Amino acid sequence: MPEIDPTEHEISDLGPKVNQVEDADELREMLELEESGEDRTPVKTLIESRIETLEAEDEEPEDAGAVDLSEKTAADVGNLIRDIDEVEELEALLEQEESGENRDSVKRLVQQRIDSVQGSDDDGEEEEILPPEEAHPELDHPTADKKHVRALEDGEYRDMWVYCETQHGELLDVSKEMLGKARELMDGYNEDYDEEEKVVAVVIGDEAESIAEETVAYGADLAVFYEDERLGRFRHKPYAEVYCDMARGAGHPYGREDRPEADWHDYDEPRYAIFPATHNGRDLSALVQAELDSGLASDCSDLYIENEVISNPVKTGAKDKVEFERVLHMPRPDFSGFEYSTILCLDSPRREFHPQGASVIPGKFELPDPDPEREGEVVEHSFDLDESWLDVEVTDHDRLEGGVDLTDHEVVVCVGRGIDRDPTEGIELGVELSETFDDGAFGLTRGVITSSFQFDGHVEQYTGEDRQIGESGQEVEPTLYIAAGVSGAIQHKVGCEESDTIVAINTDEHADIRDWSDYYIHGDLFDVLPAFTEAVESGSVDAALQNFGAVPAGGGDDD
């Protein structure tokens, strides 16, 4: 009689119990019990597979080469290979997995083990370093056309460079946010490491000098700018060339030969480089970091500088653990922000990766207040553009229309679904009233925009989504807001409740809008609006309100 009678257990409890049984005969007895009892297929499968596992173990104990990986979970494999020190044996396992289940998780585990076994075998002995194309001729090399590496050997790196993007001659907010963050980071850095490294603002464009001066107020110690009227719009080739020329110090092995020495740039390349994760910033950051042969963490949501202990042999060489200093930590969201990865850009034993580069999501850092008293140096960069970099010409450009702006007017007239009896006339009457005021605008509720009302051609320009007032449209706060035939749903209220005075015109005395308007006129908008227009034309709003027997409504005391 086996210790466990499977028929007395739920399937869910049996898994762990069965897997603890070490005797195949006992398992066979259990199988018989199940067959003569409940006869549940999953239970039988469970027991059978345990029997098979045990028998396989019995046949070939401890010989990993004979292990059938397909029967093992990734966790089992992890345990199994912990005791294997032979690279060949591990490689055999890797091959088996590749030709079998080919699970990434398993391959990764085995490969990690291989790496760590090999790492400890090295014992300081120098391995011959071959370019990847020669080391692994059997692999496809999609980057084979990149024939050389431009990384430095024993390069000198200093400062944090901030690329300050502009538009229409103004610094973007994200540029200011990055300058503020860079200031904070480098103040901490200089204190922690007892250094005097700078925040360097980079400005490229047709009016770069004045903007470069402005960057100082936001935290730059030094602004380097390149001004050329041909660079009024972003074009990636010349912008990237200019940036890289700025970044490489005099005597840089891959820089231009006539690069003059500069006191402020007594190093080879920037230590850190940050860019905005805007359309143009992403474009430029990728080109620049590739040209400087470093990495890039794109779309980062935070930055901080810390030392980091690393055990990955790719980075540490043969050693177990190495502490990397002054590491820029670059957290970025993955999978629509569900997970965060922190990206580090670390030198390898045989190759340097600088600048440590990131692009930063706009709005993630606080927008600093400018300090006009701050002092800093502004340096013009001189460099000749190659005509061929400008082959791509911007022949035309258009600034997207913001649509109708209802937000900055003295008076806004809004009509709602109360116009349903004659929608075209309703629009006409509303527009007419809005035009009576010197600074009046005309808007609609979402209810009208999503209705199936048929409008005549001449009022169609007034019935678009760009005139919607409310939560999903524009939020307005005029001195006077006149809402005709508007019931006052909460989503609409959000869009206009900050108005100084709200006048509601409605046939329904119980309409919600009455609760939050200052005056309520009980009446049909088709009668009230034209008369209201006339009264405003010949007198004043107050007079008009009195004419219509407007009564103070619920919201009257909030101002």
Partner 1 sequence: MTEDANDSAAVRTDGGESTMSEHEHYEAIVVGCGPGGAAAAAALAENDVETLVLERGVDAGSKNVSGGLIYAEEAAPYTIDDLFPDFREEATERPAEEYKMHNVSGNKVASFDLEEIHHGGTEWCDAVLRREMDSWLADRVHERTRETGGGLLTDVRVNGLLREGGEIVGVTCDELDPITADVIVAADGVNSELARDAGLMNWDEPEDWFQGVKAVVDMDRETIEERFDLDGPDDGAAHLFSGDLFEGVRGGGFLYTNEDSLSIGTVFHLDSIAEERAEPQDLLDALLTHPLLDQWFQGEYEELEYSAKLVPDSKKVANPSPHSGRLLLVGDAAGQMQAQGPIIKGMNHAVSAGGLAAEAFQDAKTRGDPTLAGDLYEQKLEGEGVMDQLRPTRYEATSWLSESSIATSIGSAVMNSPIGRFGVKTFDGLLEKSFNSPFVLGMIPDTKISYVTVPTVIGDVLGEPVSADNEIEPPDLADRIGDLTYDVGDPHIEVLDNSYEASGTAVTACPVSAEDFGGGCYRSETVESNGSKERVVSLDTQPCVECGTCAVVADTHWEHPAGGKGVEFKQG
Per CB under 8 A, residues contacting partner 1 are 10-12, 15, 41-42, 45, 49, 73-75, 103-105, 286, 289, 294-298, 308, 312, 314-315, 330, 332, 335-346, 348, 353, 356-357, 416-417, 420, 446-447, 450-454, 471-472, 487, 489-491, 512
**3 state DSSP class of 232:** coil
To partner 1, the closest distance from the beta carbon of 289 in angstroms equals 8
The nearest distance, CB 417 to partner 1, in angstroms, is 4
Our CB check for partner 1 shows the closer of 78 and 530 to be 78
Report helix angle 41-59 to 11-20, nearest 10. 10
Beta carbons within 8 Å of 398's beta carbon, 6+ residues apart: none
**Shortest distance (Å) from residue 176 CB to partner 1:** 25
Q: Encode 435-480 in three state secondary structure.
A: HHCCCEEEEECHHHHCCCCCCCHHHHHHCCHHHEECCCCECCCCCE
d(CA 556, CA 503): 10
Nearer to partner 1, 220 or 247 (CB): 247
Minimum CB distance to partner 1 smaller for 92 or for 494: 494
Distance, in Å, from the CA atom of 148 to the CA atom of 130, rounded to the nearest integer, reads 13
The pair of three-digit structure tokens given for residue 24, joined into one six-digit string? 């195949």
| 8-state DSSP, 259 | P
> Which CB, 140 or 396, lies closer to partner 1?
140
Q: For residue 493, how far is the Cα from the chain centroid? A: 32
* Cβ atoms of residues 538 and 515 within 8 Å: no
Tell the smallest beta-carbon distance from residue 532 to partner 1 (Å): 22
We find the least distance from the C-beta atom of residue 45 to partner 1, in angstroms, to be 6
Containing 146, the helix (H) or strand (E) segment is none
> Tokens 């500069």 label which residue?
262
Structure tokens belonging to residue 549? 């027997």
**In the complex, least distance from residue 454 CB atom to partner 1, rounded to whole angstroms:** 5
Residue 348 C-beta: closest distance to partner 1, Å = 8
Residue (264 or 340) nearer to partner 1, CB: 340
What is the residue-wise DSSP string for 480-530?
Answer: EEEEES----HHHHTTTTTSSEEEEEES-TT-GGGGG-SEEEES-HHHHHH
Question: Cβ 420 to partner 1, closest distance in Å?
Answer: 6
Judged by beta carbon, residue 89 or residue 524, the one nearer partner 1 is 524
Of residues 312 and 436, the one with the C-beta less far from partner 1: 312
Residue 161 or 225 having the CB closest to partner 1: 161
Per DSSP, 230 falls in state G
- Provide the 10 A C-beta neighbour count for residue 461: 13
